[in-house]
Chains A and B, each alone.
Chain A
Amino acid sequence: MKVQIERLETTRVRLDIEIPSEDVNAALAETCESLRTQVSIPGFRKGRVPIAILKSRFPEYVNSEAVRYLVAPAYEDAIYNERLNPLTQPTFTPPLDELNVKENEPFTFSATVDIRPNISLPSYDELVTDKNPVNVPREDVDAYITRLQAQSATYEPLDVERQVQANDCVRIDWECLLDGNRIDAESRQDVDIELGVGAIHEKLEQALIGMEIGDTNNVDIDFPADHNVAELAGKSAQYEITLHAITEKQLPALDDEFAKDLGYENYSQLYGLIWNNLVEEETSLHVDKQKAELLEQLIEKIEISIPDLLVDQYVQQTLRNVKQQLANEHRSPEDAGINMETLPDELRRDVIQQTKQSWIFETIAEKEGISVSDDELEYEIRRAAEQQNRDAQKYASLLKSNNRLEDFRGQLQHEKIYQFLINRASAKQSLIIT
């Protein structure tokens, strides 16, 4: 098979394909052989009709079948051998129904497809990103531990006879009554509340101030229509509060005992692990930011024209899917919160962005030879399975059965590319002068 490639535009190529006569004859023979078993011609038993007679009786059928038999595999082969990634279905010239297969003659046709344009990558050090190591100051760790401490605070009743003041801690009951009926889910008994920190509704807090131990007070609270408890939304409920004690908040001491209560060996281990976690969190945020920055710069620096046909096809396809989906669910676009007028433009923007990203990444992967081997894939699957507490084997076969394995590999490849870019990019000028 001879293939000649001609670039028409940056994103279009024409493939001139010539199939040698032996293959043509083989295709014709194959077609006739399959036709032979289907037709019955008077004078012949089924399947015994000579090929010459088939050819003269059904010339069009034999021709079109042979074309089908020849063109598709030849096209696929050509695409594969020339390492092209067609984006659209090919257009054939002449059209398939006008092609003629002749015995003992080579068969030629042309296919035109949209392909990914050649992308010239900028030099990686033109990309700039913040490469400072993440820094978690001691204060952040301390603040985190203070929060932990507050969570395990205890409240001791004070032996005093006085009215409740702002910023006191109190132990109270409250009952929530709606039209005289008690709402269990909203009622509490013996709860410790710290006033002045917004732990309860401000009206309740106001009512508490000035109360003495053993007092009971009633408060009416109007709930807004969008209140998160559906029963109460938009209604007015009556709260009956009883004060049991004025208490003192006692924070546990930050020592090994405190650490053991939380399941750590000692305080320094607790401190270290929290610090580690914070650093990890911060790092992953930082890496996400780096990725976003790099991607934005790449897209900005690289001029790519995307074939309109491709974008249109995608947009139309998605719109159809959305409509179909809505029709299946018997919902109107308004119900689903979709604005049908702006949707095409949004989709268009998205697809352009996504296409650019995937093309740039493909180009980088090809140029730098970044790929994910089966071993790496297996390793990462095992890791992901562990994180989700699943059996690695089952997880792998689940991925395989959903055809997600290649997606997974793609994700890993993207990860690797990002890592590569981050390594090669220049560091942002640091503003901190040390």
Chain B
Amino acid sequence: MKDVYQIILQPLITEKSTILRESNKYAFVVDRNATKPQIRRAAEELFDIEGDILKIRTMRVRGKPKGKMLRYQRGRKPHWKKAIITLKEGATIQAFDTI
């Protein structure tokens, strides 16, 4: 099994994710092949929130094209996977709050 640090890669801090925090949702960049159960276990272990996770939604984000056409091929940023973890009411992810 992959290491937890290789499943949850980094917190996703953007305007949108900040708004989501109001409804107790936390956004992360996760491994592209990680599954919801894997993310759930990794999060529980990383942030010490066993049993607090209500649900996890994931989506694959296509990397944006970048640069110019180069020999009929355009470069692009890598695709990645976003996970939004919804916690039960009252639970928090401490690490996230101090960023």
Interface set of A (CB-CB < 8 Å, partner B):
43-45, 48, 50, 53, 56
Contact = CB atoms under 8 A, between A and B. Distances in A.
Contact of A56 (B12, B17, B98): B98
Nearest to B12: A43
B99 A43 contact: no
A44 B15 contact: yes
7 shortest A-B CB distances, which residue pairs?
A: A43-B14, A44-B15, A50-B18, A48-B15, A43-B13, A56-B99, A45-B15
B80 to A, nearest CB: 14
15 contacts: A43-B12, A43-B13, A43-B14, A43-B15, A43-B17, A44-B14, A44-B15, A45-B15, A48-B15, A50-B18, A53-B13, A53-B18, A53-B99, A56-B98, A56-B99
B17 to A, nearest CB: 8
Interface string B65-99: 00000000000000000000000000000000011
Interface of B is mostly: loop
A100 to B, nearest CB: 18
Interface in B1-51: 12-15, 17-18
A146 B12 CA distance: 106
Contacts of A56: 98-99
Nearest to B18: A50
A358 B29 CA distance: 72
Nearest to B13: A43
Contacts of B98: 56
Given A43-B14, A53-B99, 13 more contacts: A43-B12, A43-B13, A43-B15, A43-B17, A44-B14, A44-B15, A45-B15, A48-B15, A50-B18, A53-B13, A53-B18, A56-B98, A56-B99
A44 B17 CA distance: 10
Contacts of A50: 18
Interface of B: 12-15, 17-18, 98-99
Nearest to A44: B15
Contacts, number: 15
A282 to B, nearest CB: 85
A53 B12 CA distance: 13
Contacts of B18: 50, 53
A45 B15 CA distance: 8
A411 to B, nearest CB: 63
Nearest to A48: B15
Contacts of B17: 43
Contacts of B99: 53, 56
A288 to B, nearest CB: 75
Nearest to B17: A43
Contacts of A45: 15
A205 B13 CA distance: 108
Contacts of B14: 43-44
B90 to A, nearest CB: 20
Contacts of A48: 15
Contacts of B15: 43-45, 48
A44 B99 CA distance: 15
A53 B14 CA distance: 11
A185 B99 CA distance: 92
B13 to A, nearest CB: 6
Nearest to B19: A50
A181 to B, nearest CB: 92
A48 to B, nearest CB: 6
A251 to B, nearest CB: 105
B87 to A, nearest CB: 18
Nearest to A41: B13
User: Which of B12, B13, B98, B99 gathers the greatest number of chain A CB atoms within 10 Å?
Assistant: B13
A304 B34 CA distance: 83
A47 to B, nearest CB: 11
A48 B17 CA distance: 13
A53 B13 CA distance: 9
B4 to A, nearest CB: 24
A255 to B, nearest CB: 104
Contacts of A43: 12-15, 17
A166 B42 CA distance: 130
A56 B15 CA distance: 16
Nearest to B16: A43
Nearest to A49: B15
A44 B12 CA distance: 11
B27 to A, nearest CB: 10
A53 B18 CA distance: 10
A163 B14 CA distance: 119
A258 B17 CA distance: 105
B19 to A, nearest CB: 10
Nearest to B97: A52
